[in-house]
Amino acid sequence: MAGRVLVAQVGAAHGLRGEVRLWSFTEDPMAVKDYCLESEDGTQTFAIESLRPAKDFLVARFAGVSNRTAAEALRNLKLYVSRARLPNPEPNEFYHADLIGLVAVATDGSVLGTVAAVHNFGAGDLIEIKPQCGPTVMVPFTDAVVPTIDLAAGRLIVAPPAGAFDRTEQNAGG
């Protein structure tokens, strides 16, 4: 996965002519059509022939996919782009892939854990932090909660909401 960035995921088939629901993770959702997309294992490439917005997703037709059966076979497929083909992020913008693996440090300097994932369930980005012990904790990815990101140092500073890490402390204590 090194050198590649997740940019989209295929959902269910849409209609009978090979179209699929597509969730784009690019800043401009329609920009996903400008890239040569690869499967997670890198063995397949996909070119988008047509793309249009729908209510909460995009509707895409991939080259070579012409019927519902072929479209259904793509369900849940994650699509990646070579990092070298993507533009450099602007200051204070980050690719989610760059955040995964960073050490999460509290404002007092204590280590909270490691960034395991970045999610967006429709209400804004969340950072999932895996503490050394206990379940993962999700915190909002906002300037107030994550005021500092230092990619060079491999860490981010987190001011978690009150009680966010209480379960992990209880688990660590016995």
pTM of the model: 0.68
- C-alpha 138/C-alpha 127 separation (Å) is 5
Q: Are residues 100 and 137 in the same domain?
A: yes
The enclosing H or E element of 106 equals strand 103-106
Q: Are residues 81 and 152 in the same domain?
A: no
- pLDDT, tens only, 47-88: 999 999 998 899 999 999 999 999 999 999 999 998 888 888
CB 58 within 8 A of CB 29: yes
Q: Name the DSSP letter for residue 41.
A: T
- pLDDT, tens only, 150-166: 988 999 999 988 888 87
Its domain, for residue 145, covers: 96-161
Ramachandran category for residue 125: left, alpha or beta (phi over 0 → left; psi -120 to 50 → alpha): beta
